[in-house]
Structure 1
């Protein structure tokens, strides 16, 4: 496929996970009342989505290596649509949790295949440029997600949010069926247990892959984790309505979009090293601002979302280059490599959400868990640099 088509399809697939999260978050406080349950139970609905998403990637990646990217994507999208339908018609919170888990399993194919099809066809700066373009387009979906979710919630109730996800799943399936070409040679022997274990053993044993995944786990995982806290912080502590929350989240996606555009303009001047250091520096500053603002001043929209915006701008500089670096060492098992990186990224978001639930108070959790994850990202990058120098 051409660079443009790969970018468009990669962006569409990558948005499945974030959009399913972003559209849903404005409804979380209302779902507490709709199902006569607790905040912890509704937070769990997001956590089980993360859990299903993270674990299923370890299957989606090898399945795409074994049966082809196109067939695997269409199969998992059918699972996503099924989960969306279950959630839309959930009579109890238990059915909602089941629907969200199945949704996460189906959506797991998106981030895995989107990265694999890039690695199948491109490498080095060209691959980073495509992933940067995916990042630019990716910002649009999650940016509009909370706004669409808030409007749907205001006019039609929480069920409309899951109907939107069903329509998104159907539209994505049609696009993949019509526009996506196969980019790898399927090898069903890759699903043999011995080969599967050997492949993941090789990837985990390579610190270039492992530490690049931990960089993404720290910074992008923080975006996923904070989605379990920000609705309650901004609606309950700051006082926004669900619709205002949806519009307010444009600040996060807007700065990610701006960072992606800035990187595209500065990429040649900065190079991989300069882009990564710039992005991680901003992530560290944003993490420190979150910790200080939460613990020292009363929460306001700007005191919460200002540091989030700084982190988001920095993440846009980090993601394309560190993803390319993590996929580069083992092109023959690109699907499994993308799956492992995605698993660690999502598992970090899941564990961050669990840690927040254990702390209890969303504001305290936000000011504690998110800075620690941002600082973990910086530490993982330093370890990645040392490992790459030693091995290469």
Structure 2
């Protein structure tokens, strides 16, 4: 099996010796761009029980606003990633953020739940560009340990967004009503567009041949034929994808069953993100000494502990804040140690198809959230869903990593193992 990466498809403008943007600049821009999707998700969650009452609808209908958001996010990445390979990172970012901005305005004025569901789907489509392009930009400009350091910093910034978002969403809803949450999203979309215009430099050469159907098929075919990529993406799907699945159930558990207010829920979600940030900071400190790859099994150990705790504690006892959030926090701590190395590993063999590879990786990630959220909605009881779906996702990540470790490594993967 030939695992040597094909580097003929696209030519990044940057080189390792003379990057066109600094690590800090790429980290900050990438963190902002990648965070817009999770922030738009987390801002909305405190309002979900209120929206059930506001539109006189059902929990299942409101959960559809999340499921279709995941769907739009997942499938749009398969388009915006390759488009950014062909047209460039900056113009595609602006186009998709314009879609996000228009969808946020539509959600703000939505007269019924059907319109809100449609708006959330379009928001997912627009915000998908952030994840796809930010990771591709990192791959364009940096490789190996430098790429892993930036992925780790992006992870820290990514954690800050969802940490603040539920609290901001809860406070905004209590003081100004749930409609004001979408005003915040409009402002966020404007900020990302301004940063793209004034701070993001182009990192690939425009080449429309890359977006021809045959070229796209070859790009995705080369990505999906790589066991390295598929298994790395399954590890990412089973870890970070679990965070998105949890978003579909935690609001109903903590607000409806435990009895928290919207603001209390938002503040309480800081526990999940504080654990994630602690893991990311520890990872950043230990990575120069031990290497990113050696931290992955440590992270997966915590994922396993969190999964087992959810499966046992939530079935044996009535839910309380700590009984729910301690296992969730342990799981999140482990995710932070897994993500940087596995994201770098997934993209490393594809310097010429970084946009397509990043898009497919994001599809796995958000697709896991969509499937997990749909499974949770189908199960009905949010506590049973949390105690079942998340442990299964953790098991998927662990098994995928164990298989990945046994594969022969392609040339550009040598430094990651």
Q: How does 1:231-380 map to 2 (within 5 A)?
A: 231-380=251-400
Q: Are 2:118 and 1:98 aligned?
A: yes
- Separation in structure 2 between the aligned mates of residue 389 and residue 321 of structure 1, nearest angstrom: 14
1:68 is matched with which residue: 78, 88, 91? Answer: 88
1:36 aligns with 2:35: no
Distance 1:352 1:138 in 2: 21
Q: Distance in 2 between matches of 1:310 and 1:270?
A: 22
Partner SS, residue 406 of structure 2: helix
Q: CA deviation at 1:297?
A: 1.1
How far the C-alpha of 1:88 sits from its partner, in A, is: 0.8
CA distance in 2, matches of 1:7, 1:147: 24
Which residue number corresponds to residue 153 of structure 1?
A: 173
- Deviating more after overlay: 70-79 vs 377-386: 377-386
- Which residue number in structure 2 is paired with residue 230 of structure 1? 250
Q: 3-state DSSP class of the match of 1:331?
A: coil
Give the one of 33, 36, 49 matched to 1:16. 36
Which residue does the alignment assign to 2:407?
Answer: 387
Aligned counterpart for 1:196 among listed residues 216, 222, 232: 216
Query: Residues 94-121 of structure 1: CA distance to partner in whole angstroms, max 9, x if unpaired?
Result: 0000100000000000010110000001
The structure 1 residue matched to 2:198, chosen from 178, 182, 207, is 178
Partner SS for 2:405: helix
Shift of 1:389: 4.5
Q: Any stretches of 5+ residues in structure 1 without a counterpart?
A: none
- Aligned-partner Cα distance in 2 for 1:379–1:186: 39
Which deviations, in whole Å up to 9, do the C-alpha atoms of 1:271-300 show, x marking residues without a partner? 133211111111111111111111111111
Q: 1:151 to 1:388 in 2, by over 3 A?
A: farther
Establish whether residue 169 from structure 1 lines up as the match of residue 189 from structure 2.
yes
Aligned residues: 392
Per-residue Cα deviation, 1:254-282 (whole angstroms, up to 9, x for no partner): 11111111111111232133211111111
Structure richer in helix, relative to its length:
1
- Partners of 1:186 and 1:309 in 2: CA distance: 43
Deviation at 1:390, TM superposition (A): 8.5
Which whole-Å CA distance do the structure 2 matches of 1:80 and 1:273 have between them?
Answer: 35
Q: 1:24 aligns to what SS in structure 2?
A: helix
Give the superposed CA RMSD. 1.0
CA distance in 2, matches of 1:280, 1:382: 10
Structure 1 Cα separation of the partners of residues 278 and 60 of structure 2 = 34
Measure, in 2, the Cα distance between the counterparts of 1:369 and 1:226.
9
1:135 equivalent among 155, 166, 178 = 155
The answer to whether the aligner puts 1:123 opposite 2:143 as a matched pair is yes
**Aligned partners of 2:220, 2:410: CA distance in 1, in Å?**
21
Cα distance, 1:387 vs structure 2: 2.3
- Structure 1 pair 264/59, CA: closer, same or farther in 2 (3 Å)? same
Q: Please give the alpha-carbon distance, in whole angstroms, between the structure 2 residues aligned to 1:170 and 1:365.
A: 36
Cα deviation for residue 32 of structure 1 reads: 0.2
TM-score with structure 2 length normalisation? 0.93
1:221 aligns with 2:241: yes
CA distance in 1, matches of 2:228, 2:157: 27
Distance in 1 separating the partners of 2:368 and 2:88: 28
Confirm whether residue 87 of structure 1 aligns to residue 107 of structure 2: yes
Describe the SS at the equivalent of 1:386.
coil
Q: Deviations over 1:50-95 (max 9, x none)?
A: 0000000000100100000011111110000011111111001000
